[in-house]
């Protein structure tokens, strides 16, 4: 009796998800920055120029900083993490809408789209921070000694918070498109209540306790602790930031795993 020919079974590709994430990152770089002069370089230089301009403008009105001897440095330690979180969480929140045509392919998962935006825009914000802080330390002599450990922790917390809130908003934006406009309005006061111009210790209670409910103010405080050795920032609670980030991330992932196909067909 003749034997049936052996049919090779399909094997799952190794590192398929990593290749998909890399392809999504390259696609975004090509579509978002490939048509502008300077390409991806402009994605770094544009926020650097904006932060530099804002720092110079506010330096005119605020001569004496709450910490150190340089107001540009004090202001940048608040503005850079704030803008990094805002940009990163916003990019992640719109990842599904941006990659919607590609999510129809079985090999592309919604988690790949979220991760691609986290990695690409996270690396962009790291370069922005390096150029801003490096430029201030090089030309203005702010007399600070960076603490790598505190700054790395602040960076991880900022990325985690952006990932958690961004993932949850990716779900909510797909469920209720009007939520995108509502969220934009709700976030406008965040610039004031994140400690960019002041220290939380200078705010009287109970308003200070209310400010500390904002997880971003803990990230800003940790960045300032990383540059100012004399600043203790006792109110900073990494566990609180991780808790907020984790709850938002798990909630977003659970419901996206269950309903993302239905949401993308709307």
Question: Residue 68: which residues within 8 A CB-CB, separation 6 or more?
Answer: 74, 142, 143, 144, 227, 228
Cis omega before residue 161 (within 30°)?
no
Of residues 225 and 58, more confidently modeled: 225
Q: Is the pTM value of this prediction over 0.75?
A: yes
- Decide: helix, strand or coil at residue 197: coil
Q: Find the mean pLDDT for residues 135-146.
A: 85
Among candidate residues 85, 231, 95, the one with its CA nearest the CA of residue 158: 85
Contact present, 219 and 157 (Cβ < 8 Å): yes
Q: Per residue in 150-209, pLDDT tens?
A: 999 999 999 999 999 999 999 999 888 899 899 989 888 898 899 888 899 988 888 899
Q: What are phi and psi of 12, to 5 degrees?
A: -65, 135
Of residues 39 and 222, more confidently modeled: 222
Among candidate residues 77, 231, 218, the one with its CA nearest the CA of residue 158: 218
Between the alpha carbon of residue 55 and those of residues 81, 141, 197, 216, the distances in Å are 14, 15, 11, 20
> What's the pLDDT at 264?
67
Residue 3 has pLDDT above 50, yes or no: no
> For the chain, what is the mean pLDDT?
84
> What's the pLDDT at 30?
77
Question: Residue 85: which residues within 8 A CB-CB, separation 6 or more?
Answer: 158, 161, 162, 216, 219
Return the residue matching tokens 């600043």.
Answer: 231
Contact present, 52 and 46 (Cβ < 8 Å): no
Helices (H) and strands (E) in the chain, counts: 10, 0
Read off the pLDDT band of 239 (50, 70, 90).
very high
> What's the pLDDT at 38?
62
> What's the pLDDT at 10?
41
Q: Per residue in 45-104, pLDDT tens?
A: 777 887 778 777 777 766 677 888 888 888 889 989 999 999 999 999 998 888 877 777
Q: Find the mean pLDDT for residues 215-243.
A: 93
Check residue 120 and report its DSSP letter: H
Read off the pLDDT band of 11 (50, 70, 90).
very low
Q: Find the mean pLDDT for residues 27-41.
A: 70
> What's the pLDDT at 223?
95
> What's the pLDDT at 62?
66
What is the percentage of the chain residues whose pLDDT exceeds 70?
A: 87
What is the percentage of the chain residues whose pLDDT exceeds 90?
A: 35
Residue 221 has pLDDT above 80, yes or no: yes
Q: Find the mean pLDDT for residues 121-146.
A: 88
Neighbours of 95 (CB within 10 A): 27
> What's the pLDDT at 249?
95
Question: Residue 158: which residues within 8 A CB-CB, separation 6 or more?
Answer: 81, 84, 85, 88, 219
> What's the pLDDT at 37?
57
Read off the pLDDT band of 5 (50, 70, 90).
very low
- Among 30-39, 93-102, 135-144, 192-201, which range has the highest average pLDDT? 192-201
């Amino acid at each position: 009796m003749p034997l049936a020919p052996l049919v090779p079974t399909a094997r799952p590709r190794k590192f398929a998800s990593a290749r998909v994430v890399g392809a999504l990152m390259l696609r975004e770089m090509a579509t978002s920055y490939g048509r502008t002069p300077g390409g991806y370089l402009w994605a770094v230089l544009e926020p650097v120029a904006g932060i530099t301009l804002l720092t110079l403008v506010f330096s005119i009105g605020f001569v004496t900083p709450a910490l150190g001897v340089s107001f540009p440095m004090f202001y940048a330690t608040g503005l850079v993490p704030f803008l990094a979180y805002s940009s990163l969480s916003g990019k992640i929140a719109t990842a599904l809408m941006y990659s919607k045509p590609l999510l129809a392919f079985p090999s592309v998962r919604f988690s790949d789209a979220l991760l691609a935006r986290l990695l690409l825009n996270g690396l962009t914000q790291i370069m922005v921070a390096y150029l801003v802080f490096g430029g201030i330390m090089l030309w203005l002599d702010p007399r600070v000694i960076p603490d790598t450990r505190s700054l790395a922790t602040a960076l991880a917390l900022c990325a985690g918070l952006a990932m958690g809130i961004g993932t949850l908003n990716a779900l909510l934006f797909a469920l209720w498109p009007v939520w995108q406009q509502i969220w934009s309005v709700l976030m406008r006061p965040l610039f004031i209540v994140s400690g960019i111009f002041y220290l939380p210790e200078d705010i009287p209670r109970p308003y200070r306790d209310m400010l500390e409910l904002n997880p971003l103010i803990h990230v800003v405080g940790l960045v300032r602790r990383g540059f100012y050795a004399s600043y203790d920032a006792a109110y900073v609670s990494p566990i609180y930031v991780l808790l907020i980030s984790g709850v938002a991330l798990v909630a977003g992932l659970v419901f996206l795993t269950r309903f993302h196909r239905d949401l993308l067909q709307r």
